[in-house]
Amino acid sequence: MGVSKVVLSQTRRRRHECSNPISPATSAEAIRWFSHKLHLETDCADVHSAQRAGEVDFVLLHVVGSEEAFARRHLPGAQHLPHSQITAERMAAPAGGDPLVVYCAGPHCNGADVAALKLAELGRPVKMMLGGLTGWEDEGYAFVSGK
C-alpha cells in the first residue's frame, strides 16, 4: 500500500470514529428550527442589501463600546445605544414599534445577545445581526464615522 493509500485509509477511519450518531432532523423539524432562527437573526448582507435598496424598515442599534468608539467607526445609519441606556423610559421614545436590529463587535462578543434580550423584555421587536462589526468588515462593507 502506497503512502497516499495509507493516509486515505487512516482519514476514513478517523472520520468514521468521529461521525455524529444523531440522525438529521426531519424536514418539518428543520423548517420549524430555521424559521424560528430567522425570526431572531439577520446578517450583514441582509442589512446592507436593505440599506442599498433604500428599504430599511428597522432601527439599527450599535449596542457596545463608548461614544468615542462609536464615533470612530460604526455601520451607516446606526444609532449608539449602550446597555446602560436600554431602559423602559428610553425605549418608550419615538420609533415605537419599529423592529430593532442590534449588533456588537463580532462573533467573540455577546453584547448584541444581551441587548436583544433586554429589548425583548421591554416588549420591543428585535433581531440580532450576526457577525457584528467583524462580519461587516469581512464582507467589505463601508463604515462611517461621527455621531
Res 95: pLDDT: 60
* Residue 20 predicted with pLDDT over 70: yes
What does the alpha-carbon distance between residue 91 and residue 102 come to, in Å, rounded to a whole number?
Answer: 14
Res 51: pLDDT: 97
Assess if residue 91 is contained within a domain.
yes
Assess if residue 133 is contained within a domain.
yes
Assess if residue 12 is contained within a domain.
no
The CATH number of the domain holding residue 83 is 3.40.250.10
- Predicted model pTM: 0.81
**54-98: pLDDT as tens digits:** 999 999 999 999 999 999 999 999 999 999 999 998 887 656 678
Q: Which whole-number Å values give the CA distances from 112 to 59, 87, 126, in the listed order?
A: 14, 15, 10
Assess if residue 81 is contained within a domain.
yes
Structural domain containing residue 108: 38-147
What pairing do the DSSP bridges indicate for beta strands 79-80 and 59-62? Answer: parallel
- Encoded amino acid at 68, one letter: E
- Give mean pLDDT, residues 105-129: 95
Instruction: Name the DSSP class of 83.
Output: G
Assess if residue 135 is contained within a domain.
yes
- The residue ranking higher by pLDDT, 8 or 34, is 34
Assess if residue 1 is contained within a domain.
no
Assess if residue 7 is contained within a domain.
no
Assess if residue 33 is contained within a domain.
no
Say how many domains are in the chain.
1
